[in-house]
């Protein structure tokens, strides 16, 4: 806040405005003032139920997951010193999706409400264990990328296997639609499930700023500036796993936010990795709230998936990034 | 400042450094010379504790935070990952002196300004550091090391890629640091620069110290033939000591 007051104020104002829009847009067609008073009243009326049980958790999850992806993306890019890095790189989101897909396939998801998110979290936890075992306690960023790619590939292959073996097209369709990512029909239970893990992850990732700044000079120089690289990497992996695992568990795989948001905001913070962390968290919340409002406005009756919209917006920005990187001759 | 006792580094079956014992005192500007692969970089990285090693290094024994205030390290790879401003990059040298989240105090600003002035980077403060030319980037990274304001500086080929004027400026800056009681150890390939500016030269050959002493004593025909396989014109001239490599020995 103190380094870039204008940028941070603008982002914060956008989060608040889009949060309000997310609360006010929906198929129930409740008038704005009525909606807000129903939200505050919280009596047993249908409007109060819609506001408190459907729209509020949806808006809250959009903020939480968007901020998580933006923050984790900025941290990952800072650690790997690569603007093309993203939180999914370490394989946690793919593994969480695998856990969810197994829950859908085995009927665990249908048998109790938290079956799917808990299975997804288990997948994420296993992925982190495997990742750290592969990458080892010491070792540079390259081994982390390679281990992450290996874990991602394994999770992807197993997900394909589950789809391959699904008993009927409806089961397969359910899995495919889930994997596109959505915030429709999430409840406050989902918020309470994700929030503690995400809070832990936010604290871990927010503490990386100093180390990421030092890494601008490379790993050797950072280490001689007193940065414990082993601990930094552990905090990065654990923090990313917490926020991305929890996010994927409640909303499915939502791509491109963690890739595009840090990239867009980097020039506004003078490219300093530590300043990019909070800006990117707010930016991620803005992007996901906007995308989630858009899916309700663009094709309200077709259940457009959130992950599809973020990818549709993100991919062209990604192309632009590649084009600009080429133009800079890097 | 720095004491190494029987320092050794093995990479697989190869011994890269063998039984290095030396002591660097305050006020010394040490030129570390040797052909490619002699172990100059390995020696400095092991001394810093960045490599697994045998033997003892007084720096490697320090806790990371204390070490960061005792020695500044300029790696050979000139890495600047992001288009941060020159001033921001140089300010990273102050990290070991700042508590987490603290802003630079006047003493930090003074160290940053002195480093910028010392490397002649006044006009570059707000430029994106990774978009400067190679030699300019090297000067920015040297300024970062100076801003760290440590009793000891280790620099891996700091003069590589600099034009003659900036090479001389760099050597004079390091010599000035040594004159005010600091110590500098720099690996160098330019024997002329080493002869002229260093107070002491350590020649490495196949992982061992081949010679260690004042430039006039170390830079002689026999050593240059044995270590570098070259002949050179070495003389004490009215302009100071000169060492000009001439021919490769057959």
CA dist., res. A146 & res. A136, Å (int): 12
Please, which residues 81-120 of chain A have a Cβ atom closer than 8 Å to chain B? 81
Average pLDDT, integer, range B123-128: 93
B42 or B134: which leads in pLDDT: B42
Please, which residues 169-208 of chain B have a Cβ atom closer than 8 Å to chain A? none
CA of B63 to nearest chain A CA: how many angstroms apart? 9
Q: What is the pLDDT of residues B65-101, one digit of tens each?
A: 999 999 999 999 889 999 999 999 999 999 999 987 7
Q: What is the pLDDT of residues A297-307, one digit of tens each?
A: 888 778 889 99
Strand partners, B242: B235
Coil, strand or helix at A255 = coil
Which of these ranges, A67-81, A136-150, A176-190, B173-187, has the smallest mean pLDDT?
A136-150
Average pLDDT, integer, range A282-290: 96
Which of these ranges, A74-83, A109-118, A238-247, B209-218, has the smallest mean pLDDT?
A109-118
Is pLDDT of A213 > 60?
Answer: yes
Is pLDDT of A138 > 90?
Answer: no
**CB B73 to CB A220 under 8 A?**
yes
Q: What is the per-residue pLDDT for B185?
A: 96
Average pLDDT, integer, range B158-175: 91
DSSP, residue by residue, A131-182: HHHHH-SS--HHHHHHHHHHHHHHHHHHHHHHHHT-SSHHHHHHHHHHHT--
Is pLDDT of A2 > 70?
Answer: no
Percent of chain A with pLDDT over 70: 98
- Chain B residues in contact with A217 (beta carbon < 8 A): 79-81, 89, 92, 141, 144
Is pLDDT of A178 > 90?
Answer: no
**CB B89 to CB A216 under 8 A?**
yes
Average pLDDT, integer, range B218-229: 93
Q: In this structure, how many other beta carbons lie within 10 angstroms of the beta carbon of residue A190?
A: 24
Q: What is the per-residue pLDDT for B161?
A: 85
Q: What is the per-residue pLDDT for B233?
A: 92
**CB A226 to CB B128 under 8 A?**
no
**CB A216 to CB B82 under 8 A?**
yes
Q: Are B85 and B110 in contact (CB under 8 A)?
A: no
- Chain B residues in contact with A210 (beta carbon < 8 A): 95, 100-101
Q: What is the per-residue pLDDT for B13?
A: 85
Q: What is the per-residue pLDDT for A47?
A: 84
Is pLDDT of A174 > 70?
Answer: yes
Is pLDDT of B39 > 60?
Answer: yes
Question: Cβ of B86 under 8 Å from any chain A Cβ?
Answer: no
Q: What is the per-residue pLDDT for A244?
A: 93
Strand partners, B186: B31, B155
- Chain B residues in contact with A223 (beta carbon < 8 A): 50, 64
Q: Are A152 and A160 in contact (CB under 8 A)?
A: no
Question: Cβ of A321 under 8 Å from any chain B Cβ?
Answer: no
How does the average pLDDT of chain A come out, rounded? 89
Q: What is the pLDDT of residues A45-99, one digit of tens each?
A: 888 888 888 899 999 999 999 999 999 999 999 999 988 888 888 889 999 999 9
B154 or A301: which leads in pLDDT: B154
Is pLDDT of A136 > 80?
Answer: no
Average pLDDT, integer, range A170-183: 87
Q: Closest-CA residue in chain A for B49? A: A224
Q: What is the per-residue pLDDT for A328?
A: 65
CA of B43 to nearest chain A CA: how many angstroms apart? 14
CA dist., res. B176 & res. B29, Å (int): 9
A97 CB-side CA count, 13 A: 30
CA dist., res. B201 & res. B186, Å (int): 10
* Domains of chain A, each with CATH number or no CATH: 5-327 (1.10.3470.10)
Question: Cβ of A254 under 8 Å from any chain B Cβ?
Answer: no
Q: What is the per-residue pLDDT for A321?
A: 74
Is pLDDT of B1 > 90?
Answer: no
**CB B144 to CB A217 under 8 A?**
yes
Question: Cβ of B77 under 8 Å from any chain A Cβ?
Answer: yes
CA dist., res. B32 & res. B175, Å (int): 14
Nearest to B143 by CA among B188, B182, B112: B112
User: What's the angle, vertex CA A96, arms to CA A68 and CA A261, rounded to 5?
Assistant: 30
Q: What confidence tier does A42 reach under pLDDT thresholds 50, 70, 90?
A: confident
**CB A218 to CB B77 under 8 A?**
yes
Question: Cβ of B70 under 8 Å from any chain A Cβ?
Answer: no
Q: What confidence tier does A318 reach under pLDDT thresholds 50, 70, 90?
A: confident
CA of B25 to nearest chain A CA: how many angstroms apart? 21
How does the average pLDDT of chain B come out, rounded? 92
- Residue B153's φ and ψ, nearest 5 degrees, are -120, 130
Q: What is the pLDDT of residues A234-274, one digit of tens each?
A: 999 999 999 999 999 999 989 899 999 999 999 999 999 99
**CB A213 to CB B48 under 8 A?**
no
Q: Closest-CA residue in chain B for A268? A: B84
Strand partners, B29: B184
CA dist., res. B113 & res. B107, Å (int): 10
Is pLDDT of B153 > 90?
Answer: yes
**CB B68 to CB A271 under 8 A?**
no
CA dist., res. B208 & res. B202, Å (int): 10
**CB B84 to CB A221 under 8 A?**
no
Residue among A217, A278, A279 with most chain B CBs within 10 A, to mutate? A217
Q: In this structure, how many other beta carbons lie within 10 angstroms of the beta carbon of residue A220?
A: 20
- Chain A residues in contact with B88 (beta carbon < 8 A): 270, 272
Coil, strand or helix at A305 = coil
- Chain B residues in contact with A273 (beta carbon < 8 A): 82
**CB B84 to CB A214 under 8 A?**
no
Which residues make Cβ contacts (< 8 Å) with residue A279, sequence separation at least 6? Answer: A4, A7, A8, A11, A74, A265, A268, A269
Q: What is the per-residue pLDDT for B172?
A: 92
CA dist., res. A108 & res. A113, Å (int): 9
Q: What is the per-residue pLDDT for A113?
A: 77
Coil, strand or helix at A189 = helix
**CB A225 to CB B92 under 8 A?**
yes
Coil, strand or helix at A186 = coil
Q: What is the per-residue pLDDT for B50?
A: 92
Percent of chain B with pLDDT over 90: 81
Buried b (16+ CB within 10 A) or exposed e, B170-181: bbebbeebbeee
Please report which residue ranges of chain A form alpha helices under DSSP H.
5-24, 32-41, 46-49, 56-80, 92-106, 108-111, 115-135, 141-164, 169-179, 188-206, 209-215, 219-224, 229-251, 257-265, 273-298, 306-327
From the list A216, A218, A224, which residue is nearest B84 (CB)?
Answer: A216
Q: Are A256 and A314 in contact (CB under 8 A)?
A: yes
Q: What is the pLDDT of residues B224-246, one digit of tens each?
A: 999 999 999 999 888 888 999 99
CA of B95 to nearest chain A CA: how many angstroms apart? 7
The radius of gyration of chain B from alpha carbons, rounded to an integer in Å, stands at 18
CA dist., res. B228 & res. A320, Å (int): 51
A235 or A318: which leads in pLDDT: A235
Nearest to A11 by CA among A78, A52, A71, A55: A71
Average pLDDT, integer, range B205-218: 93
Is pLDDT of B145 > 90?
Answer: yes
Residue among B79, B87, B104 with most chain A CBs within 10 A, to mutate? B79
* Domains of chain B, each with CATH number or no CATH: 2-76+151-248 (3.40.50.300)
State the virtual CA torsion across B123, B124, B127, B129 in degrees, nearest 10: 170
């Amino acid at each position: 806040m103190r380094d870039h007051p204008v940028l941070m104020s603008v982002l914060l104002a956008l989060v608040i405005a889009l949060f309000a829009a997310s609360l006010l847009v929906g198929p129930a067609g409740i008038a704005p003032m009525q909606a807000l008073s129903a939200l505050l009243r919280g009596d047993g009326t249908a409007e109060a139920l819609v506001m408190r049980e459907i729209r509020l958790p949806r808006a809250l999850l959009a903020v939480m997951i968007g901020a998580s992806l933006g923050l984790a993306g900025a941290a990952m890019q800072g650690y790997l010193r690569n603007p093309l890095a993203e939180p999914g790189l370490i394989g946690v989101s793919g593994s969480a999706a695998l856990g969810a897909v197994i829950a859908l396939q085995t009927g665990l998801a249908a048998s109790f409400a938290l079956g799917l998110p808990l299975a997804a979290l288990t997948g994420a936890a296993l992925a982190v264990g495997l990742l750290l075992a592969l990458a080892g306690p010491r070792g540079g960023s390259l081994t982390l990328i390679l281990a992450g790619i290996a874990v991602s590939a394994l999770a992807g292959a197993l997900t394909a296997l589950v789809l391959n073996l699904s008993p009927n097209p409806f089961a397969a369709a359910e899995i495919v639609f889930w994997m596109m990512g959505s915030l429709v029909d999430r409840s406050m239970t989902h918020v309470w499930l994700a929030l503690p893990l995400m809070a832990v992850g936010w604290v871990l990732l927010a503490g990386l700023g100093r180390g990421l700044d030092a890494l601008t000079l490379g790993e050797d120089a950072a280490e001689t500036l007193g940065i414990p690289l082993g601990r930094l990497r552990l905090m990065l992996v654990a923090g990313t796993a917490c926020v991305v695992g929890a996010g994927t568990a409640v909303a499915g795989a939502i791509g491109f936010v963690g890739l595009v948001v840090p990239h867009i905001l980097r020039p506004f913070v003078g490219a300093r990795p530590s300043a990019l962390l909070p800006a990117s968290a707010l930016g991620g919340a803005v992007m996901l709230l906007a995308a989630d409002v858009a899916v309700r406005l663009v094709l309200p009756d077709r259940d457009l998936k959130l992950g599809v919209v973020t990818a549709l917006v993100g991919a062209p920005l990604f192309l632009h990034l590649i084009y600009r990187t080429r133009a800079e001759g890097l | 400042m720095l004491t190494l006792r029987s320092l050794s580094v093995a990479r697989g079956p190869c011994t890269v450094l063998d039984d290095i014992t030396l002591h660097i005192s305050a006020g010394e500007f040490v030129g570390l010379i040797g052909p490619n692969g002699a172990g100059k970089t390995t020696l400095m990285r092991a001394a810093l504790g960045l490599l697994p090693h045998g033997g003892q290094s007084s720096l490697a024994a320090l806790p990371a935070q204390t070490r960061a205030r005792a020695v500044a390290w300029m790696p050979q790879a000139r890495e600047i990952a992001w288009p941060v401003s020159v001033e921001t990059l140089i300010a990273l040298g102050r990290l070991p002196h700042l508590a987490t989240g603290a802003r630079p105090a006047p003493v930090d600003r003074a160290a940053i300004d002195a480093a910028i002035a010392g490397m002649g980077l006044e006009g570059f403060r707000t430029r994106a550091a990774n978009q400067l030319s190679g030699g300019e980037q090297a000067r920015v990274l040297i300024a970062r090391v100076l801003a760290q304001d440590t009793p000891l500086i280790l620099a891996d080929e700091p003069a590589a890629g600099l034009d003659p004027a900036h090479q001389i400026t760099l050597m004079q800056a390091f010599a000035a640091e040594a004159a005010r009681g600091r110590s500098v150890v720099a690996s160098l390939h330019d024997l002329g620069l080493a002869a002229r500016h260093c107070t002491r030269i350590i020649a490495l050959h196949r992982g061992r110290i081949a010679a260690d002493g004042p430039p006039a004593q170390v830079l002689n025909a026999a050593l240059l033939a044995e270590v570098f396989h070259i002949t050179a014109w070495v003389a004490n001239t009215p302009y100071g000591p000169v060492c000009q490599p001439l021919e490769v020995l057959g």
